Structure 1
Amino acid sequence: MSVNLYQTGVSGLLSAQQQLATTGHNIANVNTEGYSRQRAEQSPTLAIQNGGNYIGTGTYVSDIARLYDQFAYREQVVNQSSLGAANASNASLTQLNGLLGSAGGAITTSIQQFYQAMNSIADNPSDPALRSIALNQAKTLTTNFNNLNDSFDRIESATNGEISEIAKQISEISTEIANINERVLHSNSPGQPGQPNDLLDERDRLINKLAEFTSVNTVTDANGVMTVMIGSGNTLVAGTTPLSLQVIPGDPDPLQTQVAIASANTTIPLKEDTLGGALAAKIKFRDEDLAKARSEINRVALVLSETLNGAQRQGLDLNQGQGANFFRDVNDATNQTSRILPYAGNSSAPGLQSGIEITDVTQLPANDFDLVFDGTNYQLTNLADGTTTNLGAPGSGTYTTAFGFNFVENSGAPAAGDRFTIRPTENSAALMQVALTDGKGIAASSAVSIKASDNNVSAGAVNIVEVSDPVAARAAAPMRIDVLENPPGSGTFNYTITDNTNTTSAPIAYTPPSQQVQLPPPPATAAFTIEITGTPSGQAPNGPEQFTISDAFGVGNGENAKFVADSRDKGIINGGRESFTQSIGITTAQVGSQTKAAELSVETSQALFTQAFNRNQETSGVNLDEEAANLLRFQQAYQASSRVVSVANTIFDTLLSAVG
């Protein structure tokens, strides 16, 4: 009897000792990240039958259980991924917003200062100092565009560096998880309930860290070995075999790097939109947010350059020559070829060499296009809305589009399946530079002017719309346009053109409310375009309405400079809806709005993660008050069991004395 009592006391003593050890382990790890509270599970030992009764023989610790709720933990992992994405997106957008707020403001200021200089030239076109100031302001403007583009490059490079670093950390986590899987596999004994709890905690901590970078799903087999999948189900850890995440050059843009799962023999690119976490946020920022802002700024640089170049071409400089380009030609060879990117898998030798020619800056979009040769025709897809346009078969040389640009074949020929990405505004800010080197070259003077006869009585008008060759236009002057309603009151009009040889053309029909006419008339080559507007009904004896076109050049003529200056506030960009400064302001506002939304997303994601974390801690977290109570309870149990052992010893000694 004393022997059984002794064994019962010892079993209680040992169990209490393990309970104390487990409680102490919990207390020691109260601040350990990812630690899950443990509990020693006690069970009674088998009773001994004695007569008709079963006498208990004590207790034992059947398991050191890990208090773990897989559903609460899974919720924490999911919210960790969302929080990682929100934090990464917010950090990147905040940086971009700060850049556009400062650099975009500098560009806006330099645009205004340049136009102020052009207004001054319009008022005093013969002043060489004002012309020099305008050139310097133009250089400041191009420098600001160049600097902003350089800043975009630095942000893109830094983002690529962050993507590479995240891929490296994911690969390291993959290796650590695989190593833990191997240790777990070797630690688990068949048929034994015990688990390596601290190893499982460390593995879950790594999973939680991994979830910050990407979305994670896990599957654990009967041996406790975990398979880890990221993104849309791509295996990162297959049992004890780790795979790595690599960064590979983008196609067709090498700087738009891609991530891929790499094993010993294969590399599988991943779909960025399914990755989740900070990795997906960084890629999205680079390929969407940053790319869109860059494209919008590029469009402003391109449209501004072409608008001012076009205005220059319509006027005369101080040397009485046609105005040369103010800025670098937007359609030079380098600009054209930089706007189209071939894919790596395209045919080679000779292969198609092509470019993009800008034709209408008012219609030019800021988004990308996809061009594919399907074996018969070129198919152009607008990536903004997914619409596709059939451009026709190869060999035509130039293919017009409805988007303000032409696709131009330069040399070679495509093969079926060849694919290209078209970025109509690409590199415009980077390549923008002042082409004019002498202030005398600023075309301040208009070539020709139109004066209505003092005898005209109607509100009809004739205005110059465009001058393609101001030198030839000036040489064609003087000319006269006579517009007549015939018969009077009929609403039927015609006009005649009297050239500088005093030769008058036959009557030509004019249809109100407006009609454009190219001058000089054939067979001469047209040099400028006029527009007749309204209903110029002359009254006898003063009819017809007459408009005289004269040579307007003069060092004091600032009409073309005024024409240039007037383009500052005109709606030119985005279908004629935005001026230059408005477009920059809209882009800055959009990024600012995205940044604010990202801040709110961080707050929401943080709140959700905190809730999920707290729910998980309710089960797995260490409560020091509870552990202190357990410590006292198990200490008392230990002392009580010690007393049982002491009583058993006393009884045993008494029995021995009685026998002796």
Structure 2
Amino acid sequence: MSLTAMLKTAASGLNAAQMNLRVTSDNIANVNTPGYVRKQVDQAPLVVGGRGMGVEILGVSRVTDQYLQTASLAASSDASRWSAVSQYLDNAQSLFGNPSDESFYFSRLDDIFSAFAASADDPSSSLLRSQAISNVEDFLAETSRINTQFAELGETVDAKLAADVNRINDLLAQINQMNADISRAKLTSGDASGSENIQAQLIDELSTLMSVQISSKPTGGVIIRSAEGLLLSGEGRAATLSYNRTATTKGYIAVEPENGSGYPQPIQVKGGEIRGLMDLRDTRLPAMVEQLGEFISRGVEQINAAHNKSTSSPPPKVLNGRDTGLDLPSAVGGFTGKTTLAILDKDGLVQSTVDIDFDAGTMSPGGAFTPANFLTSLNTAMGGAATASFSNGALSIAGTGDNRIAIDEGTSMKAGRAFSHFFGLNDMIRSSGMISYETGLKGTDPHGFTAGDTISFRLAQADGKPIRDVTVTVPAGADMNDLLTALNDPATGVGQHGQFTLDAKGGLSFAGNPPQNATLSVTQDLTSRGSGGPSMSQFFGLGAVERAGRSGRLSVDAAISQDPMRLSLATLDLTVAAGKPAVTAGDGRGARLLAAAGDVTTNFAAAGALGPVTMTLTRYAAEFGGSIGRQAQEAETRAKAAEAVNAEANARRQAVEGVNVDEELVRLTTYQQAFNASARMIQAARELFDVLNNMI
């Protein structure tokens, strides 16, 4: 080996040792620096002309493990998702109160039935009546409060989602900028680890917000894509994401078009805090609100059913029904069984009765009737002692002079409700809108909507990503079957992705086709049933917004609230002897019916965590309260499990990427000795040169 080769070899070793010493010193100095990844010098033998000429420095790299990094990011994403879900479900559960407290929401229902039971023992007590009414009002007010706070909780989640999306946009832009810095350092064989560490921290934060696909660039840096492969950051640009949601549709994340031209491109988000928040906003919280609406509406139905079977003492002069949303022929059509309308004086003595047989289509007195002439026939049968009217979907019956009205519902039935209950003639609890969507309509009944009116739907995947927007025009065909055909048309309706069906009680519902199992939202509804009647979504309860609104529009009938003696705690008894009152002040049988309303078997539609079930109201209350607790507990358990996995993944990643002081000290000693060895080699070459020079 020539002296020149010896010197070059020693010099390269000296440079390599210096570089390794510098890198090792950096590692030791940053042993406790968050986000710092251990560095190493990449080197290789330097061969010239087939002979070794020392060592070549290729650059400085971070010590990472791609598999552990991917596992850590995935675990972090999952932990953030379930942490968000657990936090907000815990908040949602707290809205109902503590089950051990007297103020617990579901305990208030028992208080109502206990108050009615107490009234049955002393029906003439104004104090007991007032207490029962107060308990009902408190329950309705508490329901409205919870419903309102659910809406506020949803708005909080919306604000958090918007803030997270803004932060994601900042991170994507910074990650893209770091790519340029890393590439420049790589091209000059410089130390890019500082920029890479900063970029890695940005990626770690990004993974807590949303799940992404990450791949390395050959020139340094990373490329970030969405689950379906849409570019988010890298290749010299960063995407801008947006959170898109309306009051009636599910939210989704989209990539905004460049230069503002074109349409946002929806993307899938499978993990991260964003996924947890979107699940809360569009699935979990709305499901709870819908279940609250189903619970309260069925509870109100049972209380009103018992109240319609009863009457006050003395009976009321006027019975005003609710807006059924139907025209009178459609409302009367489909009834079965018999009912009796009684006209009484102020002392409860029967003056006359009208027996209505829906099966035979007759009234006594009066003879035959049809749904079309029902009102005329009823007024004729009452002979001027009372009058009936129908306006804006509501039936009203008023006594003439001081005459009073009471109804024995008998065996009458339509869509699961007796005559007085179906029309809401003696409802204790009133609603400013529809609370029951079991219309009683059959496929051959007229749908009543104006031909040419439109209703628009959005079909979406379970995660909120839109599939298709559809606008359906009310057909010229007048029957419900015609309307169903238009709604389910594969080309102009929802038929490609699901089907609307009409059940035996006249309820309209949508179910998505597998495997997508699309969900449906109402984006615009310009329909009306008749002139000024309810829209299609209001009438049938289409869309989560309409069903969620049920909980906030209930109140005790104003007349009953102002005068507790109007509370119907008695019953009409048509079996009494002539000259005896059919309604008496001391009768508490109506109060007992109200007290037992919670034990009546009821059909509940699928809502929230519960499918369609048949059980008592009190049992459903227990199931509902339990499901809320189970969901919160399940989310907390999953959050703890995900956090444990995340901690383990980070620990294993840190074991590879982190700095071990003992190992670095060993390396420091090794490179110091290597430096000394290279220096000794240079000294030896100098001494040999001096010897050779002296020999000349």
- Give the alignment's TM-score, normalised by structure 2: 0.65
Q: Does 1:252 align with 2:248?
A: yes
Q: Which moved more, 1:640-649 or 1:302-311?
A: 640-649
Paired residues for 1:71-220 under 5 Å: 71-102=67-98, 106-189=104-187, 196-220=192-216
Match of residue 551, structure 2, among 429, 444, 459: 429
Unaligned runs of 5+ in 1: 340-347, 355-369, 393-398, 452-476, 479-499, 501-549
CA contact (8 A) 2:302 2:598 kept: no
Match of residue 233, structure 2, among 237, 240, 243: 237
CA distance in 2, matches of 1:158, 1:66: 41
**Offset, 1:174:** 0.8
Tell me the percent identity. Answer: 21
**Offset, 1:20:** 0.4
Q: Deviations over 1:527-586 (max 9, x none)?
A: xxxxxxxxxxxxxxxxxxxxxxx7431111111111111112222242773333322321
CA distance in 1, matches of 2:279, 2:24: 47
Instruction: Name the CA shift for 1:123/1:420 in 2 (closer, same or farther; >3 Å).
Output: closer
In the other structure, the counterpart of 2:572 is 447
Q: Deviations over 1:333-363 (max 9, x none)?
A: 47689x9xxxxxxxx9984589xxxxxxxxx
CA distance in 1, matches of 2:267, 2:594: 48
In the other structure, the counterpart of 2:670 is 633
In the other structure, the counterpart of 2:380 is none
Letter of the structure 1 residue corresponding to residue 85 of structure 2:
S
CA distance in 1, matches of 2:680, 2:65: 38
In the other structure, the counterpart of 1:362 is none
Q: Does 1:585 align with 2:610?
A: no
In the other structure, the counterpart of 1:277 is 272
SS of match in other structure, 1:318: coil
Look at both structures and tell me which one has the larger radius of gyration over its CA atoms. 1
CA contact (8 A) 2:312 2:568 kept: yes
Instruction: Name the CA shift for 1:409/1:182 in 2 (closer, same or farther; >3 Å).
Output: farther
CA distance in 2, matches of 1:554, 1:567: 22
CA contact (8 A) 2:213 2:226 kept: yes
In the other structure, the counterpart of 2:12 is 11
In the other structure, the counterpart of 2:42 is 41
Letter of the structure 1 residue corresponding to residue 623 of structure 2:
I
Paired residues for 1:248-647 under 5 Å: 248-250=244-246, 252-253=248-249, 256-263=250-257, 264-265=259-260, 266-268=262-264, 270=266, 274-321=269-316, 327-330=428-431, 332-333=432-433, 351-352=453-454, 373=472, 376=475, 377-379=482-484, 388-389=499-500, 400-401=506-507, 409-411=529-531, 421-423=542-544, 425-435=547-557, 436-437=560-561, 438-450=563-575, 551-574=581-604, 577-647=614-684
CA contact (8 A) 1:75 1:612 kept: yes
Q: Deviations over 1:453-496 (max 9, x none)?
A: xxxxxxxxxxxxxxxxxxxxxxxx86xxxxxxxxxxxxxxxxxx
CA contact (8 A) 1:125 1:444 kept: yes
Q: Deviations over 1:79-123 (max 9, x none)?
A: 222222222222222222333353896222222222222112211
Instruction: Name the CA shift for 1:372/1:100 in 2 (closer, same or farther; >3 Å).
Output: farther
SS of match in other structure, 2:155: helix
Q: Which moved more, 1:70-79 or 1:292-301?
A: 70-79
Q: Deviations over 1:218-257 (max 9, x none)?
A: 344433353311233333224221112212232634xx54
Letter of the structure 1 residue corresponding to residue 304 of structure 2:
N
In the other structure, the counterpart of 1:520 is none
**Offset, 1:371:** 9.9
Instruction: Name the CA shift for 1:391/1:312 in 2 (closer, same or farther; >3 Å).
Output: closer
SS of match in other structure, 2:123: coil
**Offset, 1:5:** 4.3
CA distance in 2, matches of 1:142, 1:45: 85
Instruction: Name the CA shift for 1:86/1:75 in 2 (closer, same or farther; >3 Å).
Output: same
Letter of the structure 2 residue corresponding to residue 307 of structure 1:
Q
CA distance in 2, matches of 1:143, 1:208: 46
SS of match in other structure, 2:213: strand
Instruction: Name the CA shift for 1:267/1:188 in 2 (closer, same or farther; >3 Å).
Output: farther
CA distance in 1, matches of 2:7, 2:184: 36
- Give the alignment's TM-score, normalised by structure 1: 0.69
CA distance in 1, matches of 2:635, 2:182: 40
CA distance in 2, matches of 1:372, 1:565: 47
Letter of the structure 2 residue corresponding to residue 318 of structure 1:
S
**Offset, 1:17:** 0.9
Letter of the structure 2 residue corresponding to residue 290 of structure 1:
L
SS of match in other structure, 2:37: coil
CA distance in 2, matches of 1:207, 1:378: 52
Letter of the structure 1 residue corresponding to residue 161 of structure 2:
I
Q: Which moved more, 1:642-651 or 1:438-447?
A: 642-651
CA distance in 1, matches of 2:140, 2:243: 34
SS of match in other structure, 2:676: helix
CA contact (8 A) 2:434 2:550 kept: no
Paired positions, count = 515
CA distance in 2, matches of 1:286, 1:9: 67
**Offset, 1:202:** 2.6
Letter of the structure 1 residue corresponding to residue 483 of structure 2:
Y
CA contact (8 A) 1:371 1:420 kept: no
SS of match in other structure, 2:585: coil
SS of match in other structure, 1:305: helix
Q: Deviations over 1:568-617 (max 9, x none)?
A: 22222427733333223212212222233223323432343344334434
Instruction: Name the CA shift for 1:328/1:569 in 2 (closer, same or farther; >3 Å).
Output: closer
CA distance in 2, matches of 1:81, 1:238: 21
**Offset, 1:439:** 0.5
In the other structure, the counterpart of 1:59 is 55
CA contact (8 A) 2:310 2:570 kept: yes
CA RMSD of aligned residues (A): 3.9
**Offset, 1:22:** 0.9
CA contact (8 A) 2:430 2:555 kept: no
Q: Which moved more, 1:156-165 or 1:611-620?
A: 611-620
SS of match in other structure, 1:222: coil
CA distance in 2, matches of 1:420, 1:135: 28
Instruction: Name the CA shift for 1:32/1:203 in 2 (closer, same or farther; >3 Å).
Output: same
Letter of the structure 2 residue corresponding to residue 314 of structure 1:
K
CA contact (8 A) 1:225 1:239 kept: no
In the other structure, the counterpart of 1:31 is 32
CA distance in 1, matches of 2:694, 2:426: 122
CA contact (8 A) 2:157 2:281 kept: yes
CA contact (8 A) 1:231 1:276 kept: no
Instruction: Name the CA shift for 1:187/1:336 in 2 (closer, same or farther; >3 Å).
Output: farther
CA distance in 2, matches of 1:228, 1:372: 37
Instruction: Name the CA shift for 1:422/1:15 in 2 (closer, same or farther; >3 Å).
Output: closer
Instruction: Name the CA shift for 1:353/1:25 in 2 (closer, same or farther; >3 Å).
Output: closer
**Offset, 1:646:** 3.6
CA contact (8 A) 2:454 2:474 kept: no
CA contact (8 A) 1:2 1:652 kept: yes
CA distance in 1, matches of 2:598, 2:675: 89
CA contact (8 A) 2:196 2:221 kept: no
